[in-house]
Amino acid sequence: MPDLMHFAFIDESGTVGIPGGTHFLVVALLSTGQPREIELPIRHAMKKYGPSLSRGEIKAANFEEKAITRLLTEIAKENVSIFATIVDQSVIVKPPAEMEEIYRRAVSKTVYKLVEQCPRVNICLDRRYTNERHRFELESKIRESIQDLPQKVVMIQQENSISRKELQAVDAVAWAFFQKYERDNASFYELISSKIIAEEIIQERDWTK
């Protein structure tokens, strides 16, 4: 229900900026009314595969395909919603002055779609930045983007994925989108497709506006 508090977790897959990087940047958001519904699949995977994880957390890029398939299947069984923004960086002719603006704008667009439907939300982003100024700029960009949405209560935290298992779950979701767009492999994406509420591809040539 729209008047209840929702919880959202955001992560990305791909690199920002074209030279030597990926063609696509994916920002994925996993939302639920109960964070435990996102945490449980990760706990199950940790119980099964934990001893083999060098960093003590699940990162989809380093996870065996059989295990990531099982994890995504479990996530799709829960009462969750998925929102995603995919930036096609290969079409960019005029990049922004600061490349991180691409990431900030993609995150903001994704959050906007969520808040349109769930005006009361607690958002947790994977802590991309160690620099406090960069974290402030990201939150400011998000709040600026949702200014026109009425009667909203939006809380924002930026946390480490080792301490928040829900962020490890959305990492897997972002990775599944990335496989579809960057690797032309939709098999993992199809496991979660029934939970996708919004999926937008940005093909913008001029990012200086």
* CATH assignment at residue 136: 3.30.420.10
The span from the CA of 108 to the CA of 50, in Å, is 33
Decide which of 142 and 46 is more confident. Answer: 142
What is the percentage of the chain residues whose pLDDT exceeds 90?
75
Is position 71 within any domain?
yes
Q: Does 207 have pLDDT greater than 70? A: yes
Is position 207 within any domain?
no
Give the per-residue pLDDT at 65: 86
Is position 40 within any domain?
yes
Total domains in the chain come to 1
Q: How many CB atoms lie within 10 A of CB 29?
A: 26
The span from the CA of 17 to the CA of 100, in Å, is 8
Q: Does 143 have pLDDT greater than 50? A: yes
Is position 162 within any domain?
yes
Q: Does 53 have pLDDT greater than 60? A: no
Give the per-residue pLDDT at 190: 98
Is position 208 within any domain?
no
Name the average pLDDT for the chain: 91
Domain that holds residue 89: 6-202
- Phi/psi of residue 97, each to 5°? -60, -35
- Phi/psi of residue 60, each to 5°? -55, -35
Cβ distance 12 to 174 under 8 Å?
yes
What is the percentage of the chain residues whose pLDDT exceeds 70?
94
Is position 137 within any domain?
yes
Is position 81 within any domain?
yes
Is position 209 within any domain?
no
Average pLDDT score over residue span 103-127:
96
